Structure 1
Amino acid sequence: MPDKHRLHMNTRPAYPSVPRSPRLLDQLGDRLRLKHYRLRTERAYAQWVKRYIYFHGRRHAAAPSAAVRPASGPPCPASAICCRRRRT
């Protein structure tokens, strides 16, 4: 007989030790409800936000991006050529 009081892997404890800030989609829903948007609009906006997040690799905005080149690296010769063409 399975234990009724065991927590599943995906459930959170009822009383977390550290209070968490509301998640992004929860904040979005709260803001849209405050502005009296329709439920269908709220769902559409939530889907857009999810698509945007997944498209950009689910990384936080404060995390450093791998696509950004370090400032101390040598300049790209192709960009130098492009810059010279733009100046003239």
Structure 2
Amino acid sequence: MDLPLKIRQRLRDLGVEQRDLATAAQVTQSYISQLLTRKKAPPAPNRTDIYDKMERFLKLRSGDLSKLADLQHKEELKRRLADSLAPLFKDV
């Protein structure tokens, strides 16, 4: 499961809105919207300040969101690396 999907699912389960999460995390509603629509990449996993606030509000275990973000960042790096290496091995 990816970070935006997990957040969206918890918002729905708890019956709360993006603006409520934004207030709890002390960020703008626009930021949450961009995060959930994947227009903005998730914050770095070491941004514990924002993840702690979001996890408390969404009633998730501590570290759940940062772990998802870490996995997403690693997958994105792998994809970018594979994309950049593909032209090197095209003729092989």
- Is TM (by shorter chain) over 0.5? no
> Which gives a bigger RCO, structure 1 or 2 (Cα 8 Å, sep 6+)?
2
The TM-score with structure 2 as length reference comes to 0.29
The structure with the greater share of residues assigned to helix is 2
The TM-score with structure 1 as length reference comes to 0.30
